[in-house]
Structure 1
Amino acid sequence: AVLLTHLHDDHIDEAAYEMMPKDIRFFVQDKNDRQVVMSHGFNHVEVVGDNTRVGEVSIQKAESQHGNFIMKYPAGHTTGYVFTHPQEKTLYHAGDTIWYA
């Protein structure tokens, strides 16, 4: 599976879209990103929601901010993710974010 924090070329680019199998499971942050990924021919693209699970692993979005107020709108929206499993430690993947609370 692929978990995408946002659509910038340093996270996914045309070469990546072309080399991955089109039936791979994709997780994205919002409906816009889902539409973009699906436009590249992928057909298993899910928006991470409140109850997204892969097996026993729960995935939740974590609010993030791509840059300060000067960068906020040009940089676009990004999301971090929190992974939890009943028998494992919790994992936080920040994505692209500045210090944000």
Structure 2
Amino acid sequence: MKMNWRGHIVFAFQDGREFVLKAKGLFNSQFVIESKDEEMLIQFNPQFNWKKFQYNYDISYDEKPQDILFVLLGVYASNYFIASMSGAMAGMA
């Protein structure tokens, strides 16, 4: 998993498959995982819960993913993207 210069997070697996997490929507409020062919696989819509001070995700897809770890990787990458864009990691070196 790495971030490219366009601000997308790229997932590269050992078997050669690559997927891209892109921020979409107004103020980059939604995240989409796309294949190399730019086919949307999973969409994440984060909603901040002020009582628990954490994000809850609405996850939508056309076809159910074969591996649940792929969905968890998308949630992890979305959290990383939100944290890096909000400046929460500004003090880290």
Name the structure with the higher strand share. Answer: 2
Looking at secondary structure, tell me which structure has more helix per residue.
Answer: 2
On whether the aligned pair clears a TM of 0.5, the verdict is no
Higher relative contact order (CA closer than 8 Å, sequence separation 6+):
1
TM-score, L = length of structure 1: 0.27
